[in-house]
Chains A and B, each alone.
Chain A
């Protein structure tokens, strides 16, 4: 399997611009997670989906952030408008529950490094 795929790997944009990050989970996985990592705040869970349905978006920092999962093989995280404080590494991860209710292993993508100038 190719693993979790994220694009782009690096994004540099100017304040006020729209940014779209993309994620392709591992085939057959039914959970998808979006995280943000910064030096100051560490690793934060933004939102996660189960079977393409958003389950918990309490970590989304504000209305400028939105996430969608139109099908089982694709998800986007959009920031509009972007601000310098959004600069971070954004990770997508996926997991499956087929092994039972315990021991879910999340598989992380390589991340997108976002810089907002």
Chain B
């Protein structure tokens, strides 16, 4: 069945460092891909998405490119801030509205 695999956390970075969180997927067909973020004590919220190969999703300085050849959707940000500390979830949607989530990657950014 469809699945999503993320790099394990926690990831600890200093402020202004470059961030990469790896995400790969297994799916039939052409899924849509998402990154969700969960801040402490809150629900998940959509960070960015891409619906077809080579699409780049971007929001709040974060970017991810849908790479069908490597079945990947890695999240990147050039300069992280303390306020980016959160748990990040990669997910895919293939059909029927259901999302398949990865296990989440905790990011901690130190001043």
* Residues of chain A at the chain B interface (Cβ within 8 Å): 4, 31, 33, 42-43, 45, 48, 50, 55-56, 91, 93, 95, 97, 101-111
Contact = CB atoms under 8 A, between A and B. Distances in A.
Contacts of A50: 96-97
Contact of B96 (A42, A55, A93, A103): A55
Contacts of B34: 105
Interface stretch (B10-18, B19-27, B44-52, B78-86): B44-52
Contacts, number: 54
Interface of B: 32, 34, 42-46, 49, 51-52, 89, 93, 95-99, 101, 103-104
A108 B42 CA distance: 9
Nearest to A4: B43
A77 B21 CA distance: 34
B43 A104 contact: no
A115 B101 CA distance: 24
Contacts of B99: 33, 45, 104, 106
A9 to B, nearest CB: 10
Contacts of A97: 97
B51 A43 contact: no
Contact of A105 (B42, B43, B46, B98): B46
